Amino acid sequence: MPYLDHAATTPMYSEVAALMTKMLTDAGNPSSLHSSGRRARRLVEEAREQVAAVLGARPAEVVFTSGGTESNNIALKGIAWDQRKNNPKRNRIIISSVEHHAILDPAHWLNESEGFELNYVPVTNTGLVTPAALAQVINGDFDSVAVVSIMLANNEVGTVNDIAALVDVIRGTGIRFHTDAVQAPLWLEINFEKLGTCALSVSGHKVGGPHGVGAIIMSRDCSVTPLIHGGGQERDVRSGTLDVPAIVAFAKALEISVAQRELQVKKISKLRDDLVAQVKSAVPDAIYNGELTSRLANNAHFTFPGCLGDSLLMLLDAQGVECSVGSACSAGVPQPSHVLLAMGADEDSARCTLRFTLGHNSTEQDVTALIKELPGAIERAKRAGVPKTLASVGEK
């Protein structure tokens, strides 16, 4: 079955699965002092060193979590709370208008439940956040901002932001900068030190590792208020018994990803370009969304006018082709993509999208299967039509 949804999750590398499976029966709590505990602790610290080396960080800056969502929540809530505790004037949170819901939702919660002011940075019609746009939102009032969070690469349209340039806008002001880099490690070189952010989130199942594990990379001067209290593991940032097999597998997957990245980017970007060209040929009115050059190598995102994205997804799935609409659904009612809305699309167009994302095991046969089934799915979806907009998203 052609699988074209690697941005949602990418299959584990076979050697990673074998390594994790072998470790599942090993005893040892890394917080214990006996031999099994010390062995488990050594494996965790070796994994920490691997992750740090891959991401251009120091081992002490790596905090293991359950994945990207927890890492993002620690960054946004933990930093915002800590900043305001130390300086009550720092009561603003700034995020881009195209963030993942793992940033959008905690930001909304901090605004509604904790009284933080929430500001959004607009994006260009290709989904790019510019330093000028960030500076305009800050409006010279640096002392009021607690944290800025802008993603490195967008999960829907694949647009890549120049995080180092955005960090320059707030450098030396006391504002903390976090970036959600969950989509990036397979396709982009990441150097935490050079980016200059206070914190950075990554996730295991996006890089050929297991679900349920990830990390937040935090500079040593980045202080957070913990979300979880308990045994004080992971620098008192994230208490809880560490999942040693998952952590070791995650570190191994990152290591493999970096070793293969150059070849994979070359192979997958060519396959992606072929997919884009064939989709445009098969469906002439298809609209290709996002940046043309500053873009993840595996991402192809389209608007198909007159075709509800959810209908297309199910029609393709019935023919064995798996992809994503790249938007949220609530109670069975299709919602327009907040990313497309932020990029200037109208609500009906923002509900007519599909995201195709490739990965390390993608092939030309996957693309061929998509192109074979897509025109028929388009024809059937157009006959069904697009219902008039029923609701709009609240993230604007």
Active-site residues: which are they?
A: 329
Q: What is the CA radius of gyration of the chain?
A: 21
Query: Where are the strands (E) in the chain, listed by range?
Result: 62-65, 92-96, 117-121, 145-149, 176-180, 199-203, 214-218, 287-289, 299-303, 329-330, 333-334, 353-357
CB atoms within 10 A of CB 105: 16
Largest CA distance in the chain: 67
Nearest to 269 by CA among 188, 388, 168, 149: 188
Nearest to 159 by CA among 53, 7, 324, 346: 7
Secondary structure of 50-96 in HEC code, one letter for each residue: HHHHHHCCCHHHEEEECCHHHHHHHHHHHHHHHHHHHCCCCCEEEEE
| Per-residue buried b or exposed e for 169-205, using 16+ beta carbons within 10 Å of the residue's own CB | bbeeeebbbbbbbbbbbbbeebebeebbbbbbbbbbb
DSSP state of 389: P
Q: Specify whether the backbone of 54 is left (phi greater than 0), alpha (psi in -120 to 50) or beta.
A: alpha
